[in-house]
Amino acid sequence: MSLQFSIPIIPIGVFYDITRTLKMFELLMQHGIRCIEVTLRTAQALDCIAALKNTFPDAMIGAGSVITRDDFKASVDAGAMFIVSPCVSDALIELSHKYKNIYYIPGFTTPTELAHALLMHVDVLKFFSCSALRRRTLFKSYC
């Protein structure tokens, strides 16, 4: 499955309040941004994902900081259309193959992680740099 976004960035948010989350995303929508990643760093994150999906059904809502299979499943149940994890997880890659309409985007930092994900047939990845100063140098060395 191929993932293409019509915008060059995906905003990422840590949300504690559904009302404020909806207002913030409405502002993003007014500026043509129809996609967001809600990190699972708060107790309200799944409720925020559900509220965003219910309020903006045509938007691409995703879950971030997903580490476990339970978090993956709960995010999908809440309405996430894509899942981002901070690592390359074989368990999540295997689980993602069971969901034909859900994109799994593992994060990587090292060439070894990148190669492993590609060998596991992952076609979209998120680059996590270990330092903003080294990001460009690291990324250029991988290409």
* Domains of the chain listed by start with CATH number: 12-142 (3.20.20.70)
Spatial contact of 47 and 20, defined as CB atoms under 8 Å apart: no
pLDDT tens digits, the chain, 143 residues: what are they? Answer: 445 555 567 899 999 999 999 999 999 999 989 999 999 999 999 999 999 999 999 999 999 999 999 999 999 999 999 999 999 999 999 999 999 899 999 999 888 999 999 999 998 888 876 655 465 666 666 66
pLDDT at 10: 86
| Angle 27-54-38 from CA coordinates, rounded to 5° | 60
pLDDT at 98: 93
Q: What size, in residues, is the chain?
A: 143
CB-facing half-sphere around the CA of 41: CA atoms within 13 A: 12
Between the alpha carbon of residue 111 and those of residues 53, 95, 127, 129, 131, the distances in Å are 35, 23, 11, 12, 16
- Burial group, residue 101, by CB count within 10 angstroms (0-12, 13-18, 19+): exposed
pLDDT at 20: 96
pLDDT at 114: 93
* Pairing between β-strand 12-13 and β-strand 35-39 as defined by DSSP bridges: parallel
pLDDT at 1: 42
Cα–Cα distance measured from residue 60 to residue 121, given in angstroms and rounded to the nearest whole number: 22
